[in-house]
């Protein structure tokens, strides 16, 4: 995993009035809400005897261990050791690993890294998604490293083959571009055009210029957020949530604003989701077979021009990992 990044790890609706234990980024974590509703996150391991804190309960703003009643505040500090008496001081060593959290757009992020900077900025989201867009959501588990799942969503070459009967109908195997436009160091747009092979050569990435006001594009924000901007009225958003080195959960959302009537809006949102899941599962069958599990800047693969977005993703990922400069 890339360190010192904000990672989406949960949906807001997954954490309500009880502790929630999950595995994310290879670590067992526990989440809960304090009295104000703010999300707290600790390592899901009691520093006293090693039990899962997620099996405990919330007392005011604190998480109470189910084994011996130790109470942890949102910073991971043990505030009370019941066996010593409620007024007894707690040694400084009684400190659990905590993680900074951020909540917006019905997503929960954690800062994955040591010593966050004093001027740490909140995580980014897509500026063009606002309250006019409503959504339905599906959590879809994959037996694959999150980097491979991301790369699949940056791959225009596979569409007429894997999705021959859905989004890839028409045998449009020739790929113009794909063009990649970096907005800054950690966000890029991807433009592509698949067409029937008429014997002409595909346009090179440098020749495939994006439109000034494109009607469709893919967007990616490091480390794990993607959008398919289909139209102003319709989007698909995915958070690629790393569970561990071999497992990922796709938080798949279908956004729309062409239907605004409350009851019909919820129905339309629900009806959009099965198709998106079906398309994702066409990919999943193949991506889960890829070896090695994680992608890398240097690996035994022979890439082609159509893999340009994947190369760009790998290059930036390697920079963030400190593998290249």
Peptide bond into 269 cis (omega under 30): no
Closest Cα to residue 173, out of 164, 181, 182? 164
Identify the pLDDT of residue 134: 95
Q: How much of the chain exceeds pLDDT 90, in percent?
A: 90
Superfamily for the 134-320 domain:
Naphthalene 1,2-dioxygenase Alpha Subunit; Chain A, domain 1 (3.90.380.10)
Q: For residue 73, what pLDDT is reported? A: 96
Q: Which residue has the tokens 């050791």?
A: 81
Highest mean pLDDT among 12-21, 205-214, 260-269: 12-21
**What pLDDT is recorded for position 317?**
97
Cα–Cα distance measured from residue 215 to residue 189, given in angstroms and rounded to the nearest whole number: 12
State residue 325's pLDDT score: 84
Indicate the class that CATH gives domain 5-112. mainly beta
Cα-Cα end-to-end distance for the chain: 18
Residue 269 CA: distances (Å) to CA of 67, 133, 272: 43, 10, 5
Distance CA 317, CA 323 (A): 9
Return the domain boundaries, the chain.
5-112, 134-320
pLDDT bucket at 184, cuts 50 / 70 / 90 = very high
pLDDT at 157 over 80: yes
Tell me the C-alpha distance between 254 and 269, whole Å: 7
- Transcribe 215-227 into DSSP letters: S-EEEEETTTEEE
Per-residue pLDDT, 205: 86
* Span 31-58, pLDDT tens digits: 999 999 999 999 999 999 999 999 999 9
Residue 206: predicted pLDDT: 83
Q: Where are the beta strands (DSSP E) in 81-145?
A: 101-104, 107-112, 134-142
pLDDT at 176 exceeding the cut of 80: yes
In degrees rounded to 5, what are phi and psi of residue 175?
Answer: -115, 115
Average pLDDT of span 233-239: 96
Tens-place pLDDT, residues 193-230: 899 999 999 998 888 766 555 567 899 999 999 999 99
Residue 67 has pLDDT above 70, yes or no: yes
Mean pLDDT of 234-254: 97
Torsion of CA 230, 235, 239, 245, to 10 degrees: -40
Asked if residue 171 has pLDDT above 60, the reply is yes
The helix or strand, by DSSP H or E, that contains position 24, with its residue range, turns out to be strand 20-24
pLDDT of residue 8: 98
Q: What is the pLDDT of residue 115?
A: 84
Q: Which candidate, 218, 9, 41, places its Cα nearest to that of 106?
A: 9
Per residue in 98-111, pLDDT (tens digit) is 999 999 999 999 99
Q: pLDDT per residue over 88-140, tens digit each? A: 999 999 999 999 999 999 999 999 998 888 899 999 999 999 989 999 999 99
**Run of H or E residues at 319:** helix 308-320
| Predicted pLDDT of residue 207 | 82
- Mean residue pLDDT of the chain comes to 94
CA distance linking residue 125 with residue 220, whole number of Å: 10
């Amino acid at each position: 995993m890339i360190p010192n990044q904000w990672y989406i790890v949960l949906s807001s609706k997954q954490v309500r009035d009880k502790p929630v234990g999950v595995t994310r980024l290879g670590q067992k974590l526990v989440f809960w809400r304090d009295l104000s509703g703010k999300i707290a996150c600790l390592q899901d391991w009691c520093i006293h005897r090693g039990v899962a804190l997620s099996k405990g309960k919330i007392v005011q703003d604190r998480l109470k261990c189910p084994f011996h009643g130790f109470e942890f505040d949102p910073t991971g500090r043990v505030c009370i050791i019941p066996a010593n008496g409620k007024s007894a001081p707690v040694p400084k060593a009684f400190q659990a690993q905590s993680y900074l959290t951020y909540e917006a757009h019905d997503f929960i992020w954690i800062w994955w890294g040591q010593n966050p900077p004093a001027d740490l900025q909140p995580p980014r989201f897509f500026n063009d998604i606002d309250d006019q867009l409503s959504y339905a959501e599906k959590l879809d588990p994959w037996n694959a490293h999150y980097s491979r799942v991301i790369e699949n969503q940056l791959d225009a070459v596979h569409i007429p083959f894997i999705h021959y009967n859905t989004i890839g109908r028409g045998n449009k195997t020739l790929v113009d571009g794909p063009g990649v436009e970096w907005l800054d160091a950690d966000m890029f747009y991807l433009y592509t055009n698949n067409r029937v092979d008429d014997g002409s050569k595909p346009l090179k990435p440098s020749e495939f210029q994006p439109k000034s006001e494109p009607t469709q594009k893919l967007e990616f924000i490091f480390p794990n957020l993607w959008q398919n901007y289909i139209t102003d009225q319709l989007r698909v958003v995915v958070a690629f949530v790393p569970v561990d080195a071999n497992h990922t959960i796709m938080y798949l959302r279908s956004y729309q604003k062409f239907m605004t009537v409350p009851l019909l809006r919820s129905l339309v949102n629900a009806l959009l989701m099965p198709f998106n899941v079906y398309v994702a599962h066409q990919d999943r069958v193949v991506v889960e077979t890829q070896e090695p599990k994680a992608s890398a800047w240097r690996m035994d693969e022979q890439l082609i021009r159509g893999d340009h977005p994947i190369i760009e993703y790998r290059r930036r990922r390697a920079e963030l990992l400190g593998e290249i400069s």
